[in-house]
Amino acid sequence: MRADPAGVLTGAHFLDGDYACGEGAMAAGCRFVAGYPITPSTEVVERISRRFPSMGGTFIQMEDELASMAAVVGASWTGTKCMTVTSGPGFSLMMENIGLAAMMETPCVVVNVQRGGPSTGLPTMVGQADVMQARWGSHGDYEVIALCPQSPQEAFDLTIEAFNLSETYRVPVFLMMDECVGHMTEKVVIPEADQIEVTTRRLTGKAPGDYLPYEINGDSIPEFARAGDGYRFHSTGLTHDAQGYPVMSTECQETCVRRLLDKILENTDEIIRLEEDELEDAEVVVVAYGITARVARMATEKARGDGLKVGFLRLITLWPFPERRIRDLAARVRGFVVPEINYGQMVLEVERCAAGRAETLLVPHGGGSVHDPEVIVQAIAEVAR
């Protein structure tokens, strides 16, 4: 369906990534946001709290990030599209109810504008060290989707995509922004509402007596019933059967949790988005994401100019990880260069998929600024040698 014009600020704007993300959420139809202030993410909810009153949205500043995430999961059960916004320390607190959202299969979007960590770390300076936490942060086995914008325009576009994916797959979807993109101001073009495709939740067409909240028909994603529509359903964070009732057995655990994984893993081709450049003849592939992708692209072009056969692969989707693409490339390239603003996180995935068939070289950065492109050029030269 097309976006509700009430939330779409059509036009060409000069916006930072945080504001663009807020505009993306409103354009996507988000009408409930709960959050707690934290640098460098707060501008997202400041934007939303100013604009929501004119479009029927409710913003509430909760007492902490535990409550923010819990409120988002609760509100999503009314069918209202929901989001919360945070940075590393708050992301840690949200993990509890991110697990609940995964287990209850509750659509929601969580934005993490990453700063340097661990702990309070570098509140006003960039980091990319939460990308593994996005994948593994809450306890137990579950799959999520995580997207990573490299510009304010993409912060807008990918926030809409995050909502669409969360509605389709009934999972929490993370927008793993970083402080640089969040605070970088660039041109952002917001289309007309009828040019923006948004996904609405698949409500069940069954009568209340026939409906089971976790019954599967065809695909791996159950149909949704809203609280207040007469279905009188039950949902729990415990391992549950198709009725949503707790069942403490290994068999039910297998059925319940396996599907949480499968509904994402069976659809990776639909979900994963990559940007690729000059991979045809590449001997070295630079794999990067977020703000680091922009620095890495500059380094790649420089190395090409130096005569090195280097290609570029940008992870727009961080999770699920593009395993097959990396495996295919590993079979024919000399190696991968992975710059990231952490001491080695996504590089572990590249290394796992390369499985020894191609070299993998991490270009780490502890956070606080972006890489010097020359360091990446040197790494490319080292792998090409």
Partner 1 sequence: MTLPVNRIAAEVPEHPSAPLLRMERLPHVWCPGCGIGTVVKCFATALERSGLDLDKVSVVSGIGCSGRVAGYMRLDAFHTTHGRAIPFATGLKLGRPELEVAVVSGDGDLVGIGGNHFIHAARRNIDLLVILINNFIYGMTGGQNAPTTPLSAKSSTMPFGNFEQPFCLPHLAASSGAPYVARWTCLHIRRLTWAIEEALDRKGFRFIEVVAPCPTLYARLNKLGTGLSEMRFYHDNAEIRHGADTRDLDVGFHQKIVCGKFVDEPRPTFLEQKDEHYEKQLGDEYVPMPEEGGMIHA
Q: By CB under 8 A, name the binding residues for partner 1.
A: 1, 4, 6, 29, 31-32, 34, 53-58, 60, 62-64, 66-68, 70-82, 96-97, 99-100, 104, 198, 200-201, 226-238, 245-246
Q: Which is nearer to partner 1, 225 or 384 (CB)?
A: 225
Name the DSSP class of 91: H
> What backbone torsions phi and psi does residue 228 show, to the nearest 5 degrees?
100, 0
Q: Which tokens in the block code for residue 191?
A: 């289309």
**Nearest alpha-carbon partner for 43 in 139, 182, 167, 215:** 182
Q: How far is the CB of 92 from partner 1 (least distance, A)?
A: 15
Nearer to partner 1, 205 or 356 (CB): 205
Q: Which residue's CB is nearer to partner 1, number 4 or number 275?
A: 4
Q: How far is the CB of 297 from partner 1 (least distance, A)?
A: 37
Measured at the alpha carbon of residue 87, what is the angle toward residues 84 and 92, in degrees to the nearest 5? 85
Buried b (16+ CB within 10 A) or exposed e, 158-174: bbbbbbbbbbbbbbbbb
CA distance 322 to 316: 10
* Least distance from partner 1 to the Cβ atom of residue 231, Å: 7
The size of the chain, in residues, is: 385
Residue 31 or 371: which CB sits closer to partner 1? 31
Q: Which of 364, 308, 358, 295 is nearest to 151 (CA)?
A: 295
Nearer CB in complex with partner 1: 253/268 = 253
How far apart are alpha carbons 301 and 311 in whole angstroms? 9
Least Cβ distance, residue 49 to partner 1 (angstroms): 11
Query: Given the complex with partner 1, which of 79 and 152 has the nearer CB atom?
Result: 79
H or E element in which residue 224 lies: none
Nearest distance from C-beta of residue 202 to partner 1, angstroms: 11
The single-letter code of the amino acid at 303 is A
DSSP annotation of 277? E
**How many Cα atoms sit within 13 Å of 234 on the Cβ side?**
10
Q: Which is nearer to partner 1, 236 or 249 (CB)?
A: 236
- Whichever of 99 and 116 has its CB closer to partner 1, that residue is 99
For residue 26, the minimal CB distance to partner 1 (Å) is 11
366 within 8 A of 343, measured Cβ to Cβ? yes
Q: Tell me how far, at minimum, the Cβ of 27 lies from partner 1, in Å.
A: 11
- Cα separation of the two ends of the chain: 52
Minimum CB–partner distance for residue 125 and partner 1 (Å): 29
DSSP label at residue 333 = -
What's the CA gap between 20 and 354, in Å, rounded?
Answer: 36
Calpha distance 357→79 (Å, rounded): 47
